[in-house]
Amino acid sequence: MAKTRTIFEGVATALITPMTENGVNYEQFGRLIDWQIDSGIDALVIAGTTGEGSTLTDEEHKNCITFAVDRVNHRVPVIAGTGSNHTEYGKQLTKFASDAGADACLIVTSYYNKATQKGLVKLFSEYASVSDVPIIAYNVPSRTGLNIEPSTYQELAKIDKVAAIKEANSNISKIVDTFARVGDKMDIYSGNDDQIVPFLSMGSKGVISVLSNVIPAETREICTKFWNGDIAGAAALQCKYNELVSALFCEVNPIPVKEALTMMGYCDPIIRSPLYRMEPENLARLTKAMKNLDII
């Protein structure tokens, strides 16, 4: 079965959701969206993990999607995070996002209620049945306790609408196996900022990135150099930004990236429980990494 079109090539920023004490700060949200697009980003992921989608209310989640679709106004693809461990709710969100004008939906595997590998095929089939736009299967075992096996991707590749993978399992051997099995059938994106170049070397279409919240143009340059044949230059940038990547994940995402954007003046340091402000020693580490790159 022919797959749907490629959703994006390059960098999709997994965008934070700026917040007030009582809700979403849409003024800051709009400013972030415009800055990201003006910086050359290729797509935006709304209300995903980095956007704290799991602690947004149903109304907030839907409003964030519709706000982003309207604000972006077709300048780049909008990818809505709509997965859930409550499948029926996730399907409702996916149908909503599809109808609201999102260009794709990012669907995380079930978490807490963990599916079997055969169950994952059925799960993504259910999501695909309610979506009019392509679906990206999101694999992040460190959060879900569940890994999509390469052999399971072969089955997912047969499902219309399941067009791509965001792979964040960090196991390079399984990643290579996945490229070998479905790299010609599904677009594969890195879900880890410390593996952009390794993924590109295997034929990845790019990265769904946390790093690009902070340095969007510079993150995009990694892909640009690689695709222009400057492999050494892309690798050098991957190494250059490694200290910052490490600092952005020294506490649970999106705690550090929200602190970083607060220091840059793009949002307030408000994050939803069960996440809390950074520990002082980790904040110092993040600050140092940003200063070393002249970001602040």
pLDDT digits (tens, 9 = 90+) for 18-50: 999 999 999 999 999 999 999 999 999 999 999
pLDDT over 50 at 232, yes or no: yes
Which residue among the candidates 138, 153, 189, 266 is catalytic per the annotation? 138
Structure tokens at 227: 């695709």
CA torsion sign for 292, 211, 193, 12 is: negative
Residue 166: burial class (beta carbons within 10 Å; 0-12, 13-18, 19+): buried
CA 18 from centre of chain: 16
State the Cα–Cα distance between residues 103 and 265, nearest whole angstrom.
Answer: 29
Structure tokens at 109: 């595997």
Q: Between β-strands 104-108 and 187-190, what pairing exists: parallel, antiparallel or unpaired?
A: unpaired
Please tell me whether residue 235 adopts helix, strand or coil conformation: helix
How much of the chain, in percent, has pLDDT values that exceed 90?
Answer: 98
Beta strands, E only, 140-259: 162-167, 187-190, 206-209
In terms of Cα–Cα distance, which of 269, 239, 242 is closest to 254? 269
Q: What is the DSSP string of 94-162?
A: HHHHHHHT-SEEEEEPP-SSPPPHHHHHHHHHHHHHH-SS-EEEEE-HHHHS----HHHHHHHTTSTTE
Task: Say if domain 10-228 classifies as CATH 3.20.20.70.
Answer: yes
State the Cα–Cα distance between residues 141 and 134, nearest whole angstrom.
Answer: 22
pLDDT over 90 at 2, yes or no: no
State the Cα–Cα distance between residues 295 and 279, nearest whole angstrom.
Answer: 21
Confidence of residue 78 (pLDDT cuts 50, 70, 90): very high
State the Cα–Cα distance between residues 210 and 188, nearest whole angstrom.
Answer: 17
> Tokens 């700060």 appear where?
25
Q: CB–CB of 51/138 below 8 Å?
A: no
Q: Between β-strands 78-81 and 104-108, what pairing exists: parallel, antiparallel or unpaired?
A: parallel
Tens-digit pLDDT profile for residues 82-141: 999 999 999 999 999 999 999 999 999 999 999 999 999 999 999 999 999 999 999 999
pTM beyond 0.95: the answer is yes
Please tell me whether residue 257 adopts helix, strand or coil conformation: helix
Q: Across the chain, what does the average pLDDT equal? A: 97
- Residue 153 is a catalytic residue: no
Structure tokens at 220: 């995009």
**CA dist 109 → 68, 147, 213 (Å):** 24, 8, 24
pLDDT over 80 at 3, yes or no: no
> Tokens 């909008």 appear where?
78
State the Cα–Cα distance between residues 256 and 233, nearest whole angstrom.
Answer: 27
Which residue among the candidates 166, 205, 225, 258 is catalytic per the annotation? 166
Residues belonging to the chain:
296
State the Cα–Cα distance between residues 137 and 147, nearest whole angstrom.
Answer: 11
- Residue 266 is a catalytic residue: no
State the Cα–Cα distance between residues 252 and 35, nearest whole angstrom.
Answer: 25
